Copies of this chain bind each other. A is one copy, B any other.
Amino acid sequence: MKISEARQQFISTWGAMGTHWGINRTMAQVHALLMISADPLTQDDIMAQLNISRGNVNMNIRDLIDWGLVDRVLIPGERKEYFTAEKDIWKVATQIIKERKKRELDPMMKLMDQLSKVEGDKRDKEVKTFLDTINGIKKFGAHADDMLDVLVKSDENWFLSTALKIFK
């Protein structure tokens, strides 16, 4: 397989995978392209390589920056903005975990706290089942939260080697 074909394949698959993870196809493709690009790219480079419009590139790049996965790079003497992606996959993963925890787990747990205050007789089967579910999620969420914090704060080698030694 030739390098150009392999690159295409990677971008396309990473994009398809994105849709399974609540990220839109194009955003994942831009990310893939930047990950395998040795040097920073401009909006025009990305437009050309992925065959998408300027507006589309602009919006997805902004989202990627919000996610902390892409950085603006200033090249001295150049007028245009350049963009580059974090290439260490462990850092990419922890960054995604950190963001999703903030955007999804935290608000979900806040809601569970509210819902667990529902009024009603706990001997009522409907109320009991509801509260059991909510409280189960609360407990699980609290554990997950703690573990993800540890995971995100630790460095790759320490975490993975320790974890595997112990759990395997």
Q: Which A residues lie at the B interface, using CB under 8 A?
A: 1-3, 6-7, 9-10, 13, 17, 19-22, 35-38, 87-90, 93, 100, 103-104, 108, 111, 114-115, 117-120, 124-130, 132-134, 136-137, 139-140, 143, 146-147, 150-151, 154, 159-160, 162-164, 166-168
User: Assuming A1-B117, A146-B164, what are 5 further A-B pairs, CB within 8 angstroms?
Assistant: A1-B119, A7-B130, A9-B115, A87-B133, A89-B133
- A13-B108, A87-B133 known; A126+B20 contact, CB < 8 A: no
Interface of A is mostly: helix
Complex copy number for this chain = 2
- A37-B129, A38-B126, A87-B133 known; A115+B10 contact, CB < 8 A: yes
Question: In the bound complex, do residue A163 and residue B147 qualify as a contact, i.e. CB atoms below 8 Å apart?
Answer: yes
Please give the distance in Å from A33's CB to the nearest CB on chain B. Answer: 11
Report the nearest B residue to A111, measured CB to CB: B13
